[in-house]
Structure 1
Amino acid sequence: MTTPPVPADAFASLRFADFRRLLVASASASFAGTAFSVVIGYQVYALTQSPLVLGLLGVATALPTLSLALLGGHYADRLDRRRILLVTRALLVLSGLAFATLSLAGPATPVAGLFLLVVLMGFARGFGDPASSAFETRIVPAGAYVNASAWLGSVGQVAGIIGPVLAGLFLTRFEPSGTYGLMAALYAASWLALLRMPPIPPVGVPTGEGRRASIKAGLRFVRADPVLFGSMALDLLAVLFGGAIALLPVFATDLLHVGPGGLGALMAAPSAGALVVMLWMTRRPPLRRTGVWLVLSIAGFGLSMLLFAVSRTFWLSWLALAFSGVFDGVNMLIRRAIVRTRTPDQMRGRVAAVSLVFIGTSNEIGALESGVASHFLGVVRATVLGGVLTLAIAGGAAWRWRDLMAWELQNERPPTGSGEAQEGV
């Protein structure tokens, strides 16, 4: 049995100065992203009163990301990943300022203009997200990959808790324009933290390989690994049918009768649950029966969404969403561990891009599914159906993907081609 790439020290990755800077950059961007999710959903629903339009909002984000993600992964394996992040984060700052300016029109804000800006943000995400995922593994040693993932996930969940609440309060007091201004400021803080880090280009870049061949190589790598492919496909299917985040403005407004502050609290609930389990897993990662835990987390997510669908009490709805976050946190950490321990550095950008296509856009495509289903079935029936389908997906995965079910983190070898990381203050 090989030594698992998991140190006993819960603070192992925090001992590296560049990782701490990355943590600040990631937290700032996560705060900005969660604030954006609250304000854009609430604003679009207030302007249109249409769950279907909320679903189309997800498509507006997903399509440009899908179209550019694989190309972004190709360049993340060939160019300075930090420089890619600096450019894309600067574009997100400008997008926040544009949203703020457009929203000064109040009730006369053009929905088409908001959708156009969402599409532009999707382009930035398509290039930036693969570089971000590939970047983090070069600043900590292989033995700290899982620990670093747990900390990055934890700060993301802290942002997911505080960000929606803060956005809800800003939205109440300063309206959408002021909230978008907050988003721009947070992305600017992320840009500044990245600026303090040294350039870290990828290693082992193949020569003479064109873009199309490079992208195909990334796709083949993922498809050939049943554990890697299975974990991505499982999450895609579960979130595609089981997620109901896009419908939260409808639940908050029409069923639970809470305002922007209540919406922010509901959107923070999954992150609260995920934070608890991720902090726990900085010390006790799921080393044994890891694949089984992954599938069980999907089933638990489906049960949580069923409870949320039938609840008409704010605290019970919040609790159901919090438990969905607990199960999603387990799922997230295991997926990240699979990607980081089974991918060599020269493939990280392209594998991250494939992961983004599978997982990063599942929320947005799932938002369309939720919007269309709720348009024909109503929000409650659509959410119940999603929960049932998620349970069926978990059962199918347990029967179909035996290699994934048998996978254990404790038996995984550290990946090759890792960069050097140095401790510092």
Structure 2
Amino acid sequence: MPNAERHDPYAVLRLPEFRLFVSARFCITLAMQIQAVVVGWQIYDITKDPFSLGLIGLAEAIPSITVALYAGHVADIVPRKRIIITVLSVLLFCSLALLVYTMGVGEFLRTWGTVPIYGIIFLSGIARGFMGPAVFSFMPQLVKDKRLYANAITWSSTTWQAASVAGPAIGGLLYAFGGVTMAFSVDAALVLLSLLFYGFIAGRPLPESQGPKLNIKESLQTGLKFVFGNQIILSALALDMFAVLFGGAVILLPVFASDILQIGPQGLGALRSAPAIGSVGMALYLAYHPITKDAGKKMLWCVAGFGACIIGFGLSNLFWLSFFLLMMSGLLDSVSMIIRSTLIHTFTPEYMKGRVSSVNNIFVGSSNEIGSFESGLAAKLMGVVPSVVFGGTMTILIVSFTAWKADQLRKLSF
């Protein structure tokens, strides 16, 4: 029987607790996407300054980076479900705080301006810094069979991207037709639902560690040495970090929607959804046709294509073309993300996945927020369109450098 016929694209979805896991991930991602759209539009509506949008990313990145390594250490010594439940409780508090803020927004604006919003985002950044390593290392404990890792990562990514499609569109529509209070109410309800889904998943004991018990410093050093001593993991993380750092134009979408394309909050939701639409399509395709041969080369080409799409988006003044280019950027980025996650899960021991994931979050996760700050600052100094074109160009140059230096990544196959 041909290998393609033996492959079961739904294998991991037959596990009840994995279905609860992806349902919880869908809800929290949907909530965070709605929140991102509403907060971005709200702050730009108040300030009319693209740099203020970059500060949103900075307010989340600083605490996330600060706690990242410690969060990875915690994920390897504390049951991961316990961490996830605690983090979701904090995120629920943040969503409720944003909701309460909108109820007296006129009075708050006269006194504090946007400072309370940035403060809440800062707190959520701390929580999400702990969330990443815990979720990353908890998922394989639900799957157990390493042969299903790629399938699990693909469906987890598909769920995340599907929520990323719906979230921005829903957020834009809620803001436009229901108001900011309605939008944040839905945001809080979805966080609560995610918390309930995780509550139905049984906790898992920590994987057995190898070697003597380490203190915090030794534990963190072990995780860092593992990543920096593995060229494939290090080059994949660095590639995605710099691509996201320079190629992330998402934070500037309120400017494009308001001033360049003039499509309002509804259009902003559509633009925010476009990359995820492409990602969902590609992730579904990869569920049936997983990448095994020449994975490294395909990753490099896809990141280069991502940079080219960002350049085209920056130069476009047509809504349909901008939407298409963002959709293509998401499609190409999905390949890179799935390959990177698969190789990290494949090459990392179970007892070390929290620490390795924390390094991954510093390289890739936080680069989203730092990239948002970089985009806002570059837009302030260079102008919106030149800053986006510059970012896409830098992404292509970084791919070229990585392809030259990282020979093991070029040769990677699963």
* Structure that is richer in helix per residue: 2
Q: CA deviation at 1:128?
A: 1.4
Tell me, yes or no, if structure 1 residue 157 matches structure 2 residue 157. no
CA distance in 2, matches of 1:124, 1:205: 26
**Residue 137 of structure 1 aligns to a residue in which SS?**
helix
Q: Which of 111, 122, 126 is the matching residue for 2:125? A: 122
CA distance in 1, matches of 2:360, 2:183: 30
User: Structure 1 length normalisation: TM-score?
Assistant: 0.93
- Name stretches of at least 5 consecutive residues in structure 2 with no aligned partner: none
Root mean square deviation of aligned Cα = 1.3
Q: Which of 287, 296, 299 is the matching residue for 2:301? A: 296
**Residue 392 of structure 1 aligns to a residue in which SS?**
helix
**Residue 165 of structure 1 aligns to a residue in which SS?**
helix
- Matching residue of 2:139: 136
CA distance in 2, matches of 1:103, 1:331: 38
CA distance in 1, matches of 2:387, 2:327: 20
Aligned AA for 2:34? Answer: A
- Matching residue of 1:170: 174
Tell me, yes or no, if structure 1 residue 49 matches structure 2 residue 52. no
Count of residue pairs the alignment pairs up:
405
Q: Which of 252, 256, 259 is the matching residue for 1:251? A: 256
**Residue 142 of structure 2 aligns to a residue in which SS?**
coil
Q: CA deviation at 1:208?
A: 2.9
CA distance in 2, matches of 1:85, 1:266: 30
- Name stretches of at least 5 consecutive residues in structure 1 with no aligned partner: 410-425
Per-residue CA deviations over 1:51-96 (Å, capped at 9, x if unaligned) read 1111111110001000111111101111110010001001111110
CA distance in 2, matches of 1:355, 1:344: 15
Aligned AA for 2:395? Answer: T
Tell me, yes or no, if structure 1 residue 237 matches structure 2 residue 231. no
CA distance in 2, matches of 1:83, 1:177: 31
Q: CA deviation at 1:397?
A: 1.1
Q: CA deviation at 1:277?
A: 0.5
CA distance in 1, matches of 2:305, 2:26: 27
CA distance in 2, matches of 1:259, 1:212: 50
Q: Which of 384, 389, 405 is the matching residue for 2:394? A: 389
- Matching residue of 1:99: 98
Q: CA deviation at 1:394?
A: 1.0
Q: Which of 203, 209, 213 is the matching residue for 2:207? A: 203
CA distance in 1, matches of 2:239, 2:360: 12
Aligned AA for 2:281? Answer: V
Per-residue CA deviations over 1:29-62 (Å, capped at 9, x if unaligned) read 1101111110111111111111111111111000
CA distance in 1, matches of 2:306, 2:403: 15
Correspondence 1:26-37 to 2 at 5 A = 26-37=25-36
Per-residue CA deviations over 1:238-290 (Å, capped at 9, x if unaligned) read 11111100100000000000111100000000000000000000111110000
Correspondence 1:311-322 to 2 at 5 A = 311-322=316-327
**Residue 138 of structure 1 aligns to a residue in which SS?**
helix
Q: CA deviation at 1:393?
A: 0.9
Q: CA deviation at 1:174?
A: 2.4
CA distance in 2, matches of 1:267, 1:34: 9
Q: CA deviation at 1:149?
A: 0.5
User: Structure 2 length normalisation: TM-score?
Assistant: 0.96
- Matching residue of 1:147: 151
